Chain A
Amino acid sequence: MPSTTDLEQFLVTGLSLGGVYALSGVGMVVLYRATGVLYLAFGAVGAMGALIAWQLSHQDGWNIWLSFAVAILFGGVITLVYGIIFGPALAGRDPLVKATATLGLLLILLGVMDLLWPSSGGASRSLTMPTDNNTFQVGQISVTYTNVIALALGLVITVVTAAFLRFTKLGTAMRAMANDREITAALGVPVRRVEAAAWFGCGVLSGVAGVLLADLVALDSTSLTFLVISTLAATLVGRLRSIVVTFVAALVIGLITAELTPVSSLSNYRDMTPFVVAAIALLVLNRRRVIMVGRQGV
């Protein structure tokens, strides 16, 4: 049985991870509601952003915060470009097709990352934020400013996005588009511009998430790419609709994954957490079976 100190320390990790999953989840849900695209390449984009930030700051001597800004901007731009090119091309298709297409982007990015930053057997790269060094104590646990930023950002972005969707014109337009794109367009809403905003916003969040996860977890293209699964699990619990539920689910997933680390019997299996949570969410989501009229598959 792990000690209370251990459990408490991993609470901090869990909340930080949860915070990042939350802000990622919010990005993915908003994009899905506005465009019908489940952005499976979210993690890959963030991963590449993080590697770019590492390259600039650790290799080329740029200022670290500037490097992060570039990483975040990269996320936004790449996602926007993808959305502009492939959004219209796949507009009328089933969400399955749209999501599968993002897997294409995922593969491209994975290949590019491994080409530009090959995993050389020996030294592994790491991305550290300056805020890692600022720590404070809460009882027996040490908390870094990075931890605080991760959780705070998760919270802030959730609240701000929820308010944005509710109270602003752009946000209302996004909600309307989730229901019916054609009618929204017919009402004079600049659909293309709203979509572009959604793509860019989601991309920016992927850049933020990438940098934070690179710091909290590891700077490794494959791991970072597939951390999207944890985010995905949270969005599925939120039924790809509710931002608040996604936030809570993200925190829970982060917490469980982290808290299992000191539990020696289960520790090795902690990476199953998002898979198990997502599977359960999917099964519950689909309790009432929907019978499809029309062509299946891609």
Chain B
Amino acid sequence: MKTEASAPAAETAATSQGSALAAARAGRRLEPRSMVRPAVIAALLACVLLFVPSIFSLYYVDAWTQVAIYSIVTLGLGLLVGRVGMVSLGQGAVLAMGAWVSARLLFATGLPFPLVLLAGGLITMVLGTLVGLPALRMSGLYLALITLMLAGAITVVLQNINFPNGGHGFTGYNASTVHIPPIRRPAIAASDPAFFRYSVVVAILMFLLVLVHLRGRPGRAWAAIRQSEAASLAGGINTTLFKLWAFALASFITGIAGGLVAGSFRYLNSLTFSTADSITLLAVVLMGGAYSMTGAIVAAFLLKFLQALLNDWGVSPDWLTILFGIGVLQVLTTAPRGIVEQMPKDLARLGRLIRGLLGRPTTTRESAE
């Protein structure tokens, strides 16, 4: 017995939008993906690569290098927090691990720098995932707490085995070394400006890697998990696997960032990384917008460039710590998706306001906000 569903509302809607379904059936998308945005981004990046070293002094070129490197770290944390909904308070420790592994490999082997980066990334990925495995069964507060605990434990270990300084043995640390050799850099990127470009290129590659994930199956699964773990499981998604994958990806890219830190600083010690670092990392990621990739760059800028700027002006970096604390409170109480998500909305509102002042009518799409 066939049932006939025909109510007036459905019919009028069908005439204007039924064509949308038919169009989709025929394989036509109503709104084709625009090529403008990627082109603009590519152009911007090209300018950055070409001109930054000539515009800025060496001091600021190094600051921009730190921004590039740490944008990889904030990207990883943003992925965990913004896309999957896992707040990790341990990414600082993962970065330190990556730096340690890379430094060790750079001293112990003659492997070319890119290979060391890759190996460092992979080893950090394995270590980070192993250490993070117990966290995967948890959610919310307990996940955050256990990442904090594991990070703390790692920090204590690193403080004791110290960072490699050219010595022999497993830890590569020789306490009595007087003349510590610097960590080597890639042959093609020995100078600071060259290392800047190198870091930016690596950062671009990491961003692309994450983008590929987000556009594909893992990205959709992560969106589902963040929305509701129960519904994801009911939908057949192996949530543990995908959470593990997110953790592994974040650890991998953070490990590579660690390698870049090693090459950038050239001398590492346990003061380079501190417990508070993991917290300020979370703070800037929240402020910059955990959800968007642009947010990761904003976060890195907040973390590293402002620091360099204040240092140059003779202002204490403690003001930044205070700013980040205020930022966390502001973001959590008002803009749960971070300021970058908020920005397009604010800009749109501003645009409408201007249009209104100019006497132009606003389009229906904008006013439907």
Contacts and interface: CB of A to CB of B under 8 A. Distances in A.
A38 interface: yes
A111 B318 CA distance: 5
A84 interface: no
A117 to B, nearest CB: 10
A294 interface: yes
B85 A38 contact: no
Interface in B290-335: 290, 316, 318-329, 332-333
Interface stretch (A62-70, A132-140, A150-158, A280-288): A280-288
Chain B binding surface, main DSSP class: helix
Given A115-B318, A269-B160, A295-B85, A86 B139 contact: no
A111 B319 contact: yes
B328 A103 contact: yes
A111 B322 contact: yes
Given A110-B321, A298-B87, A298-B286, A279 B279 contact: no
B150 A108 contact: no
A138 B140 CA distance: 47
B275 A226 contact: yes
Contacts of B276: 107, 110, 222
Interface in A247-298: 268-269, 271-272, 274-276, 278-279, 282-283, 285-286, 289-298
Q: How large is the interface on B (under 10, 10 to 19, 20 to 34, 35 or more residues)?
A: 35 or more
B157 interface: yes
Interface stretch (B204-212, B228-236, B253-261): B228-236
A286 B144 CA distance: 13
A269 to B, nearest CB: 6
A137 B85 CA distance: 55
A103 B327 CA distance: 11
B138 A286 contact: yes
A20 B275 CA distance: 22
Contacts, number: 174
Interface stretch (A51-59, A94-102, A169-177, A201-209): A94-102
B283 interface: yes
A107 B87 CA distance: 17
A100 B282 contact: yes
Nearest to B136: A289
Contact of A96 (B87, B231, B327): B87
Main secondary structure of the interface of A (DSSP, over half): helix
A123 interface: no
B227 interface: yes
A86 B329 contact: yes
A73 interface: no
B218 interface: no
A93 B280 CA distance: 22
Interface of B: 81-82, 84-87, 134, 137-142, 144-146, 148-150, 152-153, 156-157, 159-160, 225-231, 233, 274-276, 279-280, 282-283, 286, 290, 316, 318-329, 332-333, 336
18 contacts: A100-B282, A101-B328, A106-B325, A107-B280, A107-B283, A107-B321, A107-B325, A108-B326, A110-B318, A111-B324, A226-B152, A269-B157, A272-B152, A272-B153, A275-B153, A282-B138, A293-B230, A297-B86
Given A229-B148, A233-B149, A286-B142, 19 more contacts: A89-B333, A90-B333, A100-B144, A103-B279, A103-B282, A107-B283, A222-B276, A229-B149, A232-B145, A275-B150, A276-B149, A279-B134, A282-B138, A293-B228, A296-B226, A297-B82, A297-B86, A297-B87, A298-B286
